[in-house]
Chain A
């Protein structure tokens, strides 16, 4: 019988833990916000535009199959912009004007949102962050033409690390090729060294989309170099049905399964792995497959599951106290207070901070006023956040220093591995840095091909300042 004895008691405990919390007022407000978004066709804005404000569009998804991941991320972004406005009066006095547009993680809607918002504000969009590799592919040429930077922190096209070719793309903190390299480094460490990878079987369970396909070329390179058997296994959007894939995995028994999922695909993968008794500690998710919504629904079945960290993980740091003091105390927070500090909330916040700091950097050159996308691009390309500056910003311990340059639009390529213990994520590894001797040849090859196809003359980075 399903409900009885120990299971019933466990369920009861779980239900008590998951029971309605004290944050109903936030729930109600967010629901009204959602209703407003739906009624207004998906977009809602902060107060009316003024000529002295810097406009930043937020392409988000608060509805649909990926809302579970999209909501905390968008809340982190919105809360950070509100913090800068409420605490500092904006970026050096230039208030941030932001507007959300609902993409539903759909490429067509993402392009529509971009087209609608790119010209808003006194100087147009400072930058755009689509939170979708598919939308990134669709916008790359448009943003270059429009001279608006496209920030794809921890996602997007990996070859755009080469700023000489992709002047307006900024895959900050880590590309999927860096992620693939870090994942294999961790596997190598677990099996006792790179020489032990030979003959091992490593499968990639991936979302069958530009996002999920992105790491494949890098993993193929690494498989050839280290001699492991690599098998990519696609999962069709949205990923609710994975029985075939996991029955294949059960038969093939790979030594490791890398998970490149998003939304429901992640949680389903964990559950299906449990259903075929595949050990969860042999699964390693990319940093988009390692948030709370990916494991909590699976309960005990998720214990042991591992995922990469895009430097930061869950947890609160000094910047969170600032947000609680200056944003939530004034009733302007976007999230349920209990969800502040979750993995994707933090990632949204980090993403917003990097954009704000790029604008601040650009203001040093172009003046303390609303800036154009082209000017902000300069700020991004010259961004240099030292440990001391990260401490000032309240991100100490969350991030390592990052320095962007013309030839390196990634800026940093460090990661760790975390493991779910049933209650929270625990960091289980030291820092890894993606090996550029492995990623760089592929970046050069693919970006050179892109430049040739699009007839782009790569910039001479030695002459850029």
Chain B
């Protein structure tokens, strides 16, 4: 017999975890939406952004800077690193591959992944670096209704708030700004966008920069949760089923996909896994993704691509 309190706790915990996956998935969506490139390097970008932030923060605080100043400067430094990374990727990887097919571009991002992972650890170190930008205390809700209450982690709530702000900001950026509309035009057809005067190099720099900044935001939350370390790159694999479910081109889809994956895998692990040996949440997310693929190949919110032959 499943206790209602436990069910609600796992459900809420799963939804919160899903939002954190969405933070990583958003980076994928941004780049795909704006350039048609499936950016395999998003997990590595989270690592790079996190390492740049935490190492600069350590250095500044060790040199006597007040914590809040160090945080501002650290975030600024990490943003500059992500801007440089975006420029390098556009200049030396994606730029020269304009109008190549999607598979070629995808393969190039695999190369970028390994370079970023190696370079980030070589420059900033490969230890586990603690980062505490958000509270990690817990709330126990409805204690009078359920024995022990329903546990909610404050960090998860912060993650949800940040994801909400990000989605709102990105929606405005894509819908209401000239650059945002240009991004969408480039995504539809690189050559056609160039022919009407859209500076494709600049646009791609902007989109990789925005994805880098989203990676930085994800790094602040996941770094607080796990410590900044190489394993953060594995979050990319957590984001994949989110993308399949939500659709590669939809910012709200990344959030909804995250919620479905988070809740689905946690409920499956706790209530199903305990009967079949456990350890199922990792692949159960992909079961959900496959189920969605069978029904809606473009994902729940993705654009249906129709090509004339």
Contacts and interface: CB of A to CB of B under 8 A. Distances in A.
Interface stretch (B116-124, B173-181, B183-191): B116-124
Contacts of A62: 126
B231 A263 contact: yes
Contact of A235 (B227, B235, B279): B279
Given A3-B133, A14-B130, A244-B270, A267 B227 contact: yes
Contact of A68 (B128, B269, B274): B128
Interface string A53-94: 000000000111101100100000000000000000000000
Contacts of A19: 58-59, 61-63
| Interface of chain B, main secondary structure | helix
Interface residues of B, number: 58
A286 to B, nearest CB: 18
B220 to A, nearest CB: 10
Contact of B61 (A16, A38, A238, A250): A16
A456 interface: no
A35 B120 CA distance: 11
A106 interface: no
Contact of A250 (B132, B151, B231, B278): B151
B125 A240 contact: no
Contacts of B118: 34-35, 38, 63
| Interface of chain A, main secondary structure | helix
B58 A20 contact: yes
B226 A268 contact: yes
A297 B129 contact: yes
A429 interface: no
A71 B125 CA distance: 12
Interface in A128-156: none
Interface stretch (A118-126, A271-279, A392-400): A271-279
A236 B281 contact: yes
Nearest to B6: A251
A52 interface: no
Nearest to B268: A244
B279 A208 contact: yes
B218 interface: no
A27 interface: yes
Nearest to B60: A15
Interface-central residue, A38, A63, A233, A275, by most chain B CB under 10 Å: A275
Interface stretch (B65-73, B76-84, B93-101, B248-256): B65-73
Contacts of B134: 2
Contacts of A208: 278-279
A196 B100 CA distance: 70
Interface stretch (B9-17, B31-39, B102-110): B9-17
A74 to B, nearest CB: 12
B277 A234 contact: yes
A432 to B, nearest CB: 29
Contacts of B151: 247, 250, 275-276
Nearest to A8: B67
Nearest to A253: B148
A225 interface: no
Interface string A5-48: 00110011011101110000001000100110010000000000
Given A34-B121, A243-B266, A236 B282 contact: yes
Interface string A262-303: 011001100100111100000000000000010011110100
B122 A15 contact: no
Given A232-B278, A236-B279, A271 B229 contact: no
A241 interface: yes
B125 A244 contact: no
B264 to A, nearest CB: 11
Nearest to A34: B122
A18 B56 CA distance: 12
Nearest to A239: B231
A248 interface: yes
A238 B238 CA distance: 12
A247 B270 contact: yes
Contacts of A38: 118
B58 A12 contact: no
A243 B136 contact: no
B231 A264 contact: yes
A27 B67 contact: no
A67 B67 contact: no
B217 to A, nearest CB: 15
Contacts of A274: 136
A15 B231 CA distance: 22
A219 to B, nearest CB: 15
A267 B129 CA distance: 11
Given A65-B234, A293-B127, A243 B13 contact: yes
A68 B126 contact: yes
Contact of A15 (B67, B68, B135, B138): B67
Contact of B231 (A14, A240, A298, A301): A240
Given A67-B126, A267-B227, 12 more contacts: A14-B130, A19-B61, A234-B277, A238-B234, A240-B231, A243-B266, A244-B13, A247-B151, A247-B270, A251-B3, A251-B6, A297-B227
- Please name the 10 residue pairs, one residue from A and one from B, whose CB atoms are nearest each other, closest first: A19-B62, A15-B61, A234-B279, A297-B227, A244-B269, A264-B231, A236-B282, A297-B128, A208-B279, A234-B278
24 contacts: A2-B158, A11-B61, A14-B130, A19-B63, A27-B125, A31-B123, A34-B122, A64-B230, A65-B234, A68-B126, A71-B126, A208-B278, A208-B279, A233-B278, A240-B231, A240-B232, A244-B270, A244-B281, A247-B6, A250-B9, A264-B229, A267-B128, A275-B151, A298-B130
